[in-house]
Amino acid sequence: MEKQRRTTLLFKRSWEGGLFCFILFILAFVIHNLFLTDSAPASGKMDPGMLCFIISGVLGSLCSRRARFLAPVVGALVAVPVCLLLINFWEQDDAGLVQELAWLSGAVFWNALGALCVLFTISLVWRQDVKKRRV
């Protein structure tokens, strides 16, 4: 009974970051489409506003304890259909489903890159801590 309770607690703790990333990904999507971009994803222009999706990956990774990479990526992937529904709800452009999926997969990439940056930073801090302990 205790083991089952412990694994349930670990599951809840590790996927909090995924839920947080899900919410932040949708929020970043809405902010990007309302305030940061003037053109459709199919226009071919560079879009530095896509970098705001790094924030959702970083914060999602910091909130999850056990699955620092997997939880934010799964949260972003689960948010993609919601974002597609929001795109169809707004109906601002005629980019097509494949173009919108490509744009959203780029956003998931930036989200995953944010989570990887957190993992890289944690590994650097851990290495410095190990070196200090040796001396």
Q: What is the pLDDT of residue 59?
A: 92
Alpha helix stretches (DSSP H) within the chain: 2-31, 53-63, 70-90, 97-134
pLDDT tens for residues 92-133?
666 788 888 998 999 999 999 999 999 999 999 988 777 777
Tokens describing residue 34:
């309302």
Distance between CA atoms of residues 49 and 53, nearest Å? 8
> What letter does residue 42 receive in the DSSP assignment?
G
Q: What is the pTM of this model?
A: 0.79
The dihedral built from the CA positions of residue 9, 18, 121 and 124, taken in this order, carries a sign that is positive
